[in-house]
Structure 1
Amino acid sequence: MKSKLVIASLLLAGACAANLNAQEKTNYYTPKWSDNIFVSVGGGVHAINNDGFNKLAPHFSVSVGKLITPTWGVRAQFNGVTQHLCLDNSYWEHNKTYFGGNIDAMINLSTLFAGVNPNRFFEVYGFLGPQVTVAKSANVLIQNDGTMIPDGDEKARARVGASAGLGLKFNINTKWTIDVEARGAIAPSIFGNISSHRKAEGTGMLTAGVSYIFGGKKFIPVSKIDEDAVNAEINRYRSELAQAQADLANCKNALANAKPEVKEVTKEVEVAGPRAIFFKIGSARLDDYGKVNIELAAKILKANPDKKYKVAGYADKATGSASWNQKLSEKRA
């Protein structure tokens, strides 16, 4: 019985993996570089983990970012403004104003594991990246009784660390979302020597806010060429070319065998011309099918040196700007 359960589990896992691979093969692109840019604002609480979490402090954040694909994105976040440090000495409660910044790489775990669904209401995402905090702090002098007193003037200092977190996203529509995030960070303490973990102090933040995507989410799946249709088109070109070559050969034989006294009759033969060559969206590079079409077109041109052909390139106006499509069509031609 156990072996049957193991086999069934392996088959189920294989089916899930195959389904995931099929989803990952679908690629998406952004029509314009200015699409999928978003801004976010949030508020919540902040606490230092210094031998246990300290007193909560208010926390605010403002972010600007871009969704590169439905799964990956980047953002820059500015945050602050107060931290509380509680110690069992003369500075038992220390408050400090600071400003922080984060650069986050973002990954949508819902689309990564469950595929892209434009109608999904709830999503889970993660983020990771470096951070910097700027605050004024002074050196301290430890007295004989163990208490600490400031020593010298306060100076602004920048401290670099790293942070990571997890977020929950509620998609109200294509433009607005509600975000709930939990972030943990490790960095030198902004309190300097007052902190018992001045070189590596842990902090935690919990925030809720909203995000606005300018113009709404715009991701277009890359169209896949139907291979059967392409092969059928190539075979049709070959058939037309063979028929045209046979007609030309018949005309040449008729002219060669014609008697001088017989009036020459000119027969017009319709010759198949080059046909469309397919390109991937946003690309001017020939694939294997395009190369076959080029070869067929070259044979037709060589077989008809007295004919004139027009070469033209085209681009879909719905997938790019006019200037970009003009350059792309010229490259394709």
Structure 2
Amino acid sequence: MKTKRVLAGMMLYCGIASSAFAQVKEGESITMTQVDTIQVTNHKERVITNPFWNNWFVMADAGVNAFWGDCPVGKFKDRLTPQFNVGVGKWVIPGFGLNLQFTGFRSKGDKGVQGLYTRGSQTYTDADGNKYWKEKIKWWDLSFNAMFNLTRLIGGYEGISSSKHLNQFIASIGVGATHHYDLPYGSANEWSGHLELQYSRFFSTKKNLSLDVKLRGLFYETKYDGVFNHQLFDENISLNVGMTYYFKERGWGRTMTNTTIYKQDDRQISYLNDEINRLRSLKTDTVVIEKGTAEVLQNIVTFPYLVNFVIDKVKVVNREKVNLKAVAAMIKATPEQKYLICGYADKHTGSVKRNLWLAENRAKNVYKVLTEEFGVSADQLVLDDKGGVDNMYYDDPQLSRSVIISKYNE
């Protein structure tokens, strides 16, 4: 009996399911359109990756260098020489960047053995009667380095023109090629390793100029000073002071990407069309159905409507065109109404001239989409642009990079 009840239940379920599918008429379906929309967020670790030419900088510093090689003797002050450094680089994201540096220019010290790079044949004797030689090495080094902004990696990105993080700590690691010149035995080359700790103090919230203090270590193969196998590597340790200048454009925008699912139930639309036709057939003066109502019910739009743009771009992306199709349907359903298409740009990003161009061309491109792709009459549209503006919504610069469509009353 139990088995029979189970079989009966399964048959009843199959019958109900078959009946439900049988009631779905041709053309009735549920369609889903997925659209990625960009929204601004204050998440401190999420930013927009900027174009290639953004966040470049140049730097220069100078200081004092101390050399440690094989078999050193004598006083520490006898190892000190000037050192300089120049470089160019780019921050890829707030916490990571790359730079190319040129460093020089000599090392010196007292050595307990006569090496390849000891200068002259004179032998010196210290107070204890030990012999030593004077060593001088002229060199330059070209290195490629990875930079890590520890302040931003730990504390997050502070945003454009923020008073936070005026003091920043940066660590760098890299590899270089060192060239010896002006040697008694010709020239020599070897690889070098670079380690650097940097403290930077910015002078304004623009963060375009910083004062830098750097502790730098250059590590060479043990043959650097011409004496082998006494230690694993030779090194120059320096303490330098310099400055870094950051070119425009500086900083990063912050966004997050959400996925919005638009559901369209064709069965419900079919029901609404049938209901409209039924109401039209009624002989009454109390119900007025205007032409195009069925289409409007599918795409209800509230004005003003905002079309968003990527920073420094004027192209209308596909995710905005999906919604503009509904806007176009609403405009065509109200032929007696005119609509204003007004372009805007973020005042705090770019020059005044650039923002005027962005605002004008954003408005023109929305106009083209509505008229050329979705068939809106040009007589219903009025073009305008405002250039760079202060944050219009939620103190959020992203929302100022837009075109606003609103009803136009002459």
Q: Same fold (TM over 0.5)?
A: yes
Residue in structure 1 matched with residue 338 of structure 2 by the alignment: none
1:219 partner amino acid:
W
The alpha-carbon distance between structure 1 residues 216 and 210, as it changes in their structure 2 partners (threshold 3 A), is farther
Contact 1:127 1:164 in 2 (8 A): yes
Give distance in 2, aligned partners of 1:79 and 1:266: 80
Q: TM-score, normalised by structure 1?
A: 0.62
Residue in structure 1 matched with residue 97 of structure 2 by the alignment: 73
| Structure 2: runs of 5 or more not aligned | 1-41, 119-132, 330-342, 374-410
Give distance in 2, aligned partners of 1:286 and 1:167: 44
Q: Could you say what secondary structure the match of 1:47 adopts?
A: strand
Q: Could you say what secondary structure the match of 1:99 adopts?
A: strand
Contact 1:108 1:125 in 2 (8 A): yes
Q: TM-score, normalised by structure 2?
A: 0.52
The alpha-carbon distance between structure 1 residues 277 and 172, as it changes in their structure 2 partners (threshold 3 A), is closer
The alpha-carbon distance between structure 1 residues 281 and 223, as it changes in their structure 2 partners (threshold 3 A), is farther
Contact 1:137 1:191 in 2 (8 A): no
The alpha-carbon distance between structure 1 residues 278 and 191, as it changes in their structure 2 partners (threshold 3 A), is same
Contact 2:99 2:145 in 1 (8 A): yes
Contact 1:137 1:192 in 2 (8 A): no
Give distance in 2, aligned partners of 1:165 and 1:48: 16
User: Out of 174, 179, 188, which is 2:212 matched to?
Assistant: 179
Q: Could you say what secondary structure the match of 1:248 adopts?
A: helix
In the alignment, does 2:182 pair up with 1:159?
Answer: no
Contact 2:43 2:254 in 1 (8 A): no
How far residue 56 of structure 1 moved from its aligned partner, in angstroms, is 0.8
Residue in structure 1 matched with residue 135 of structure 2 by the alignment: 94
2:291 partner amino acid:
E
Q: Could you say what secondary structure the match of 1:217 adopts?
A: coil
**Superposition map of 1:238-277 within 5 A:** 245-253=270-278, 268-270=291-293, 271-272=295-296, 274=299
Task: Identify which range, 169-178 or 270-279, moves more after superposition.
Answer: 270-279
**Superposition map of 1:98-109 within 5 A:** 98-109=139-150
Same amino acid, percent of matched pairs: 17
Contact 1:168 1:180 in 2 (8 A): yes
How far residue 48 of structure 1 moved from its aligned partner, in angstroms, is 1.7
What's the RMSD between the two structures over aligned residues?
4.8
Across the two proteins, how many residue pairs are aligned to each other? 270
Q: Which is richer in strand?
A: 2
User: Out of 39, 44, 57, which is 2:63 matched to?
Assistant: 44
Q: Could you say what secondary structure the match of 1:156 adopts?
A: strand
Residue in structure 2 matched with residue 7 of structure 1 by the alignment: none
How far residue 187 of structure 1 moved from its aligned partner, in angstroms, is 1.3
Q: Could you say what secondary structure the match of 1:208 adopts?
A: strand
Give distance in 2, aligned partners of 1:192 and 1:112: 38
The alpha-carbon distance between structure 1 residues 84 and 195, as it changes in their structure 2 partners (threshold 3 A), is farther
Residue in structure 2 matched with residue 310 of structure 1 by the alignment: none
User: Out of 55, 60, 64, which is 2:79 matched to?
Assistant: 55
| Structure 1: runs of 5 or more not aligned | 1-21, 139-152, 259-264, 301-314
**Which of the pair has the greater relative contact order for Cα pairs under 8 Å at 6+ separation?**
2
2:135 partner amino acid:
H
Residue in structure 2 matched with residue 205 of structure 1 by the alignment: 238
How far residue 257 of structure 1 moved from its aligned partner, in angstroms, is 9.5
Question: Over residues 175-215 of structure 1, what are the superposed CA-to-partner deviations in whole Å (9 max), with x where a residue is unaligned?
Answer: 11001111223212575424665872122121110111113
How far residue 113 of structure 1 moved from its aligned partner, in angstroms, is 0.9
Task: Identify which range, 241-250 or 87-96, moves more after superposition.
Answer: 241-250
Give distance in 2, aligned partners of 1:181 and 1:267: 74
Contact 1:279 1:286 in 2 (8 A): no
Contact 2:137 2:225 in 1 (8 A): no
**Superposition map of 1:29-40 within 5 A:** 29-30=49-50, 32-40=51-59
Residue in structure 1 matched with residue 6 of structure 2 by the alignment: none
1:124 partner amino acid:
F
Larger Rg, first or second structure (1 or 2): 2
Give distance in 1, aligned partners of 2:142 and 2:223: 14
1:105 partner amino acid:
A
In the alignment, does 2:47 pair up with 1:27?
Answer: yes
Give distance in 1, aligned partners of 2:276 and 2:189: 87
